[in-house]
Amino acid sequence: MRNYILPAVFLIITGCKKENTTTSVSQSSPAEAVSGNTGKDSVDTQPNKEEVFVFTTELCENEGRYNPDRYSKKELEDTYRLWFKMGGALLSTPSVFNLNDLQKVRTEKDQILAKLDKDFAQQRKVLENLTVVRDPYWENIKTRKLQELTDEYEFRKTEIQAFSNPSLLLHHTLSKGCENFARALYSGGPQMIEEWRKLREAMGKRNSDQQRIINEFQERLNSPDQKDYAIVDLITFGWGNCANDGLKKTEHDERMYKKFNSLFIKIDSECDEP
């Protein structure tokens, strides 16, 4: 199944070899976060309540202590899921790298698209039903992930359809910035061959065995399946990479890591060595 590389989650891990470490996280009250009031009148005179939320990161088992008057366990669970469980691609479709893959996608197109529709509906429902903590940052992340899911769905659907009908890419909104590949696929003639050649040359420059990439192109250029070979390369490595790079993606970065940790009064972590 095809999975695109998306930014990795940044994890800051201390005290490994199964050692217990404690990370203290300072946190203002919701009222202070909204108003910026840090005067004496805003201080909560009641003793702080604490409950424990257990969560896992790549190398650590963590126990975060939080104030249940600020967040519910459900809100923390859903925010954790949004942060840690939804950092990569949420949908998948078959990859096409050769003629066998191409034939399979063409033959099973309807089934692939039906599964994609079902997966999209399920993932959208999961996202919509997440009850994240009441904070503009996390509410915005949820909104952006919903849009990212919609964009990914449209991209994957269009790509699968294009393997059978490349002409639909010509005026598609996803082709903005990738018009050279869309026009080449639509032309089906010398323009397609020339764009294919340029793509292979660019691929060769990024490969440790550049000559192999060029030789492979020459062999396929002289094949009776020349057009299908060109379609595979121009959609998968040309239009596909270009259009995917143009999609807006949520950064699951160090800032998000820190924002999640800031929900807790302190965090005790037990980590394995990397």
Q: How many domains, in total, are found in the chain?
A: 2
Q: Among the listed ranges 66-75, 105-114, 149-158, 202-211, which one has the minimum average pLDDT value? A: 202-211
Query: Considering the entire predicted model, what is its pTM?
Result: 0.80
Q: How far is 129 from 272, CA to CA, in rounded Å?
A: 33
Residues 230 and 269 in one domain: no
Task: Please tell me whether residues 127 and 21 are part of one structural domain.
Answer: no
27 φ, ψ (degrees, to nearest 5): -155, 130
- DSSP bridge partners of 93: 2
Q: Is the model's pLDDT at 80 over the cut of 90?
A: yes
Residue 157 resides in a domain: yes
Whether residue 176 is found in the same domain as residue 68: no
Give counts: helices (H), strands (E), the chain.
Answer: 11, 4
Residue 70 lies in a domain: yes
How far is residue 51's CA from residue 60's CA, in Å, rounded to a whole number?
19
Task: Tell me the three-class secondary structure of 57-72, residue by residue.
Answer: CCCEEEEEEECCCCCC
Residue 90, in any domain of the structure: no
Q: Are 186 and 169 in contact (CB under 8 A)?
A: yes
Cβ within 8 Å of residue 161, ≥6 positions away = 109, 113, 168
Does 102 score more than 60 pLDDT?
yes
Point out the least confidently predicted range of 1-5, 36-40, 97-101, 198-202: 36-40
170 domain residue, yes or no: yes
Domain assignment present for residue 141? The answer is yes
Do 263 and 133 touch, CB atoms closer than 8 A? yes
Mean pLDDT of 44-73: 88
Does any domain span residue 264? yes
In this structure, the answer to whether residues 141 and 271 fall within a common structural domain is no
Q: Which domain holds residue 210?
A: 99-245
Tens digit of pLDDT for each residue in 139-190? Answer: 999 999 999 999 999 999 999 999 999 999 999 999 999 999 999 999 989 9
* DSSP secondary structure letter of residue 236: I
Residue 34 lies in a domain: no
259 and 241 housed in the same domain: no
Run of H or E residues at 181: helix 179-187
Claim to verify: residue 193 and residue 233 sit in the same structural domain: yes
| Sheet with 60-66: strands ordered across | 20-24, 266-271, 60-66, 51-56
Same domain for 174 and 272, yes or no, is no
Rounded Cα gap, residues 66 and 73, in angstroms: 9
pLDDT reported for residue 221 = 96
What single DSSP character describes residue 8? P
Average pLDDT, the chain: 86
pLDDT digits (tens, 9 = 90+) for 3-57: 444 343 333 333 333 444 444 444 444 334 333 444 344 444 455 689 999 999 9
Is the domain of 76 the same as that of 116?
Answer: no
Identify the sign of the CA torsion 146, 148, 154, 157.
negative
Is the pLDDT reported for residue 195 higher than 60? yes
Amino acid 171: pLDDT: 93
Residue 3: the pLDDT is 47
For the four alpha carbons of 266, 272, 273 and 274, in that order, the dihedral sign comes to negative
pLDDT of 48 reads 64
Please name which of 95, 90, 92 lies closest in space to residue 147, comparing C-alpha atoms. Answer: 90
What was the pLDDT predicted at 35? Answer: 37
| Per-residue confidence (pLDDT) for residue 47, from 0 to 100 | 56
Would the pLDDT of 93 be above 90? yes
Share of the chain above pLDDT 90, in %: 76
204 and 126 part of one domain: yes
Q: Are residues 63 and 149 in the same domain?
A: no
The reply to whether 119 and 58 lie within a common domain is no
Residue 69 domain flag: yes
H/E element, 103: helix 99-107
Q: Give 10 or 257, the one with higher predicted confidence.
A: 257
- Dist CA 106 CA 19 (whole Å): 53
Query: What is the radius of gyration, based on Cα positions, of the chain?
Result: 25
233 & 116 share domain? yes
